[in-house]
Amino acid sequence: MLKKFTILVIPEGTHSVKRFSFHGLILPLVLVAVSCSLAFGSYWYYQYRSIQTNLPHLQALQTQNQRQEDQINAFARGLTGLKEQVTKLRAFNQRLRAMANLDKKGVAEPLAGVGGPEGALTGAGVRLASTVHERQISNLQRDMAQLTAETEAEQALQEELAKFLNERRSILASTPSIWPVRGWVTSGFGFRSSPWTGQRHFHAGIDISTRVGTPIVAPADGIVTFADFEGAYGRMVVLNHGHGLVTRYGHLNAFRVKVGQKVKRGQVIAQVGSSGRSTGSHLHYEVLVAGVPANPRYYIIH
């Protein structure tokens, strides 16, 4: 049987003594309650002090976290802009390819090799992002890698187009396309009756009649490979335009170029004359393709 405890309270003066009795079990309970209160109080006080101590650090981390999020968002917006530019560049390149007749109809040209199982998120060496920022950065890295591959592919295509167009420009610049001299065509390309023998023979060019001394211009870019007297042709100039194209100019009065000189379309190369076997002042003009005479009129645009 537990004992009882009595507490006497004796006030000053003439007041009666107050007596408080309680069961013996109360005291341990009170002590336990007080101890628990002190323990909880100490714990929460420690937590409060810890929060107070770490609060500046937490605020700095929060600020840094916000700054990183802003940077990620800004980078994502910039990446979106780059994607749009690459898309426009791809569309422009496709139009250029179509205009240059480089497109392969119905054939898709992948930017790079692809493969692997769909949705593979687990397996050896795979580490899943644990935070939102890590996932965002992972997605941005993936998009950047894809954008880099697309950019490299478009750059290669641009180089291909530039090479193609440069070759075409070189071919066009080296293709005879203008009249070397203005006048009257007195004899065309093909078989004709010889003005000396009356017999039928092949005429490898066209004769353009005009007055002596009229300037003769190069119908295309080229290099002078011959400028001298050549039998029935009289004084003759030969231009090599590359790509198998050669032009010859006969019965000249005077030269305005020399062997090895580079000339441009429209540049004066000689003057009309009547040297060699000729019935009067005119230019004998020939176009040879891979050494075979071709009708010069096919190569005159204006």
41 within a domain of the structure (yes/no) = yes
| Of 35, 63, 79, the domain-final residue | 79
Mean pLDDT of 66-85: 75
255 vs 69, more confident: 255
154 within a domain of the structure (yes/no) = no
- 150-191 pLDDT tens trace: 777 777 777 777 777 777 777 888 889 899 999 999 999 988
26 within a domain of the structure (yes/no) = yes
Mean pLDDT of 194-214: 87
175 within a domain of the structure (yes/no) = no
Domain containing 293 equals: 184-299
19 vs 268, more confident: 268
The pLDDT value given to residue 109: 46
| Of 79, 110, 131, the domain-final residue | 79
| Of 59, 79, 99, the domain-final residue | 79
7 vs 271, more confident: 271
151 within a domain of the structure (yes/no) = no
C-alpha 163/C-alpha 155 separation (Å) is 12
244 vs 65, more confident: 244
List the alpha helices (DSSP H) in 115-243: 132-173
Q: What is the CATH number of the domain that holds 240?
A: 2.70.70.10
Q: 3-class secondary structure for 76-134?
A: HHHHHHHHHHHHHHHHHHHHHHHHCCCCCCCCCCCCCCCCCCCCCCCCCCCCCCCCHHH
28 within a domain of the structure (yes/no) = yes
Greatest mean pLDDT among 76-90, 117-131, 240-254 lies in 240-254
C-alpha 99/C-alpha 155 separation (Å) is 18
At 287, is the pLDDT very low, low, confident or very high (cuts 50, 70, 90)? very high
Number of helices (H) and strands (E), helices first, in the chain?
Answer: 2, 14
136 within a domain of the structure (yes/no) = no
pTM for this entry: 0.52
294 within a domain of the structure (yes/no) = yes
How many domains are there within the chain? Answer: 2
At 105, is the pLDDT very low, low, confident or very high (cuts 50, 70, 90)? very low
| Structure-token pair, residue 235 | 């004084």
